[in-house]
A and B are shown apart, each in its own frame.
Chain A
Amino acid sequence: MTGEGFYEPVRFSGFPEIKESIVSGHIPATFMLAPLAMKLREQGVPIKIVYLGHRDGTAMMVHNNSDIRSIRDLKNKTIAVPNRYSNQFLIIFKALRDNGLTDKDVNFVEMPPPDMPAALYANSVDAITSGEPFMAKTQMEGYGRVLYQAKDIWPEFISCVLVVREDLIKERPEWVQQLVDGIARSGKWLEGGMERRMKAADDISQQYYNQKPELLRYVLSTPPDRVNYANLMLAREEFEKIATLGREAGILNGSASFEDYTDASFSDKTHGARSYDWEGPK
């Protein structure tokens, strides 16, 4: 897979492989689950979070004929999560606690998001949760039902963040800034109306996602705020909320601070970034 710009996108099918690749230096930059990046930093891996990838865009799905209608109904059920070090796990942890349950009351299984729709279809698990488009796929194919959208429980939900190795920041800071600026300006472009979202869905569905354009169109329009690409700058209070919840859930130990796991200098420079002057794919 080759990008048209100065960067080359490298597609993975699971977060464990992404983690190994950034730790080994095989790739110098990647999108990754926020708590996983924070955990790696706690373990001394020389990486920094420099920007957000998107907001919201996560749901929990159950089978259409499931008797699960509320969070309380998840007791003793099996839930597939992309990784234990994910905000998808933390949001369930919080929702269970708010409903008088704990994470010990459910069975978690880690599963690559692309495998989740088939697992739900086959009733191998009772519920699945990850980023889109895999949740919407179960809806479109008629066997999945939304239990909750992350944005309804955790407004401005953060899932994936852009992580770069410190040696890249040291050797090529202009590349990191160019990448961050590109995400900021692309996000502004996407938020410029539904027509642009549909153009983007058609363009990226095959090139990046290997999915039908109809699915990406559905994800970016139903409802229109299902995924949000505005305001992707790093905010201390949001990461401290993740850190606090991560400590309570026992997946983080608090040994790394906001300054340790982020470099906000690139994000700060996107303040006032303007949308690309782009008509969209031809």
Chain B
Amino acid sequence: MSKGLRLVLGVFVAFLGLSLLHVWLNIGFQKFNFFAASQTKTSLRVGFLPVT
């Protein structure tokens, strides 16, 4: 395998890895809502309109 081909494959594998990591993080944050879950354990969000 030529050095050039190895470089291209290396970049491709790295790109694939980053893409999978990106997808996994998105699923984690959006579907399982890590941030929201940690918020609801410490505070209660109460909606209001600024009218009496």
Contact string against B for A residues 111-145, beta-carbon threshold 8 Å, 1 for contact and 0 otherwise? 00110000000000000001111100000000000
Contact string against B for A residues 167-202, beta-carbon threshold 8 Å, 1 for contact and 0 otherwise? 010001001000100000000000000000000000
Question: Could you say which of A21-29, A63-71, A95-103, A267-275 contacts chain B?
Answer: A21-29
**Interfacial chain A residues near B43, Cβ < 8 Å:** 3, 6-8
B37 CB, min distance to chain A CBs, angstroms: 13
| Pairwise interchain contact A131-B47, C-beta atoms closer than 8 A | no
Question: Which residue of chain B has its CB nearest to the CB of A176?
Answer: B44
Q: Out of A12, A15, A175, name the residue touching B44 (CB < 8 Å).
A: A175
Kindly list 8 other residue pairs between chains A and B, CB separation below 8 angstroms, not including A113-B49, A133-B51.
A7-B46, A10-B48, A12-B48, A12-B49, A27-B45, A27-B47, A30-B47, A175-B44
Contact string against B for A residues 31-57, beta-carbon threshold 8 Å, 1 for contact and 0 otherwise? 110000000000000000000011001
User: Is residue A253 within 8 Å, beta carbon to beta carbon, of the partner chain?
Assistant: no
Interface size on B, residues (CB 8 A): 12
Contact string against A for B residues 8-41, beta-carbon threshold 8 Å, 1 for contact and 0 otherwise? 0000000000000000000000000000000010
| Pairwise interchain contact A11-B44, C-beta atoms closer than 8 A | no
User: Is residue A209 within 8 Å, beta carbon to beta carbon, of the partner chain?
Assistant: yes
User: Is residue B52 within 8 Å, beta carbon to beta carbon, of the partner chain?
Assistant: yes
Q: What is the CA–CA distance of A122 and B49 in the complex, to the nearest angstrom?
A: 23
User: Is residue B4 within 8 Å, beta carbon to beta carbon, of the partner chain?
Assistant: no
Using a CB–CB cutoff of 8 Å, the interface residues on chain B facing chain A are 40, 42-52
Interchain Cβ contacts under 8 Å between A and B, 14 examples? A7-B46, A10-B46, A10-B47, A13-B49, A15-B49, A29-B45, A31-B47, A31-B48, A54-B52, A133-B51, A134-B51, A159-B51, A168-B44, A227-B52
Q: What is the CA–CA distance of A10 and B39 in the complex, to the nearest angstrom?
A: 14
- Where chain A touches its partner, the secondary structure class is mixed
**Interfacial chain B residues near A243, Cβ < 8 Å:** none
| Pairwise interchain contact B49-A31, C-beta atoms closer than 8 A | yes
**Interfacial chain B residues near A30, Cβ < 8 Å:** 46-48
User: Is residue A60 within 8 Å, beta carbon to beta carbon, of the partner chain?
Assistant: no
| Pairwise interchain contact A208-B50, C-beta atoms closer than 8 A | yes
| Pairwise interchain contact B44-A6, C-beta atoms closer than 8 A | yes
| Pairwise interchain contact B50-A8, C-beta atoms closer than 8 A | no
Q: Out of A7, A32, A53, A57, name the residue touching B45 (CB < 8 Å).
A: A7
| Pairwise interchain contact A209-B50, C-beta atoms closer than 8 A | yes
